[in-house]
Amino acid sequence: MKFLDLAKVYIRSGGGGGGAVSFRREKYIEYGGPDGGDGGRGGDVIVEGVESLNTLIDFRYQQHFFAKSGIPGMGKQRTGADGADIVLKVPVGTEVLDEDEETLICDITEVGQRVIIAKGGNGGFGNLHFKSSTNRAPRRANPGQEGIERTIWLRLKLIADAGLLGLPNAGKSTFLAASSNARPKIADYPFTTLHPNLGVVGIDNTEFVMADIPGLIEGAHEGRGIGDRFLGHVERCNVLLHLVDGTAEDITANYNTIINELEAYGGVLADRPRITALNKIDALDDEERAAAQAELEKASGGKVLMLSAASQEGIKEVLRAVRLEINEDRLRTKTPEEIEEESKPWRP
């Protein structure tokens, strides 16, 4: 399935049905009086978060969503039927933005959450509504209210507990594959990852979700490379894991490139807790490891962890450090039955 995280959608709620002008006319009833019914209410446009979706690809093939209008009122005091609502099913983590792509209308963060983004028009009053002691035969009725027509943007921000950052070929996809159930594409050329990947990581009988986004390069906030459009997918993370290639010629420059892009992006990302880790240490000897770690600690001003996603060295220590930064309410603890099942030997 193709990944799509931004979609432009045109919506319109249903208009209300008009009221009816009608009089009761029956044999042997001399003064029947008005009996025009009210019009039905127009349908709403609703956004609903569902569990079965993880992309906005459905909105690539359909961009127009119009709710049904209400049925006009009829004689014999019959009220018109309400128009049917239309529901836009979106993955959890979707933001609904106004046409300017900046004004936030709503944020769908839970499965089953429903938000009305365009309310249907009310139905008009029939002439029965205007009957009074001084006006026994009103010949007026109200038209129904028109529906609301607007253009909106749907922007998906994946909900993950931890996010991976780094330059292209820093080993992020290899780390995600080594530490989770995800199987992202891995190759020895830049920008192998073209869309975000999610994986469930298990450590010390707890599980959390980790997101890997395409690599950033200098000037990404200005649109260079793939740009910074994917940074939004790690905005909701509790912690960011910054992987730095230990075999790079200038480790300090590589580290500062990512930090500068985070600060240029703005928002909350620059203030998120970050864990810095030196990757690909399997290609370094002890002396080179110590020198690279010291250089990166000087650049970051904090502790630097060491790991090799290819040889599995240091992965558990890094995952434990990431886990400590994640809120307890976002962690999933494995049940005793699941632990027992995992300890059993595999059988075909």
pLDDT in tens, 97-119: 999 988 999 999 899 999 999 99
CA neighbours closer than 13 Å in the CB half-sphere of residue 203: 21
Q: Could you tell me what percent of the chain has a pLDDT over 90?
A: 33
The first and second tokens of residue 277, run together, are: 């880790």
pLDDT of 25 > 90? The answer is: no
The DSSP string of 202-239 is: EETTEEEEEEE-PPP-TTGGGT-TT-SGGGGGGTT-SE
Domain limits, CATH 2.70.210.12, in the chain: 1-156
The CATH 3.40.50.300 portion of the chain extends over 162-343
CB distance 19 to 74 below 8 Å: no
State how far the Cα of 15 lies from the Cα of 42, in Å rounded to an integer.
Answer: 5
Encode burial over 157-181: b for 16+ CB neighbours within 10 A, e otherwise: bbbbbbbbbbbbbbbbbbbbbbbbe
pLDDT tens, position by position, 46-61 = 999 998 888 888 898 8
Q: Which class in CATH covers the domain with range 162-343?
A: alpha beta
pLDDT at 335 (0 to 100): 61
- Rounded (10°) CA dihedral 322, 324, 329, 330: 0
Does 242 score more than 60 pLDDT?
A: yes
Amino acid at 153: W
Q: Of 119, 125, 48, which is closest to residue 80 (Cα–Cα)?
A: 125
CATH tag for 1-156 (out of 2.40.240.10, 3.30.420.40, 1.10.287.370, 2.70.210.12): 2.70.210.12
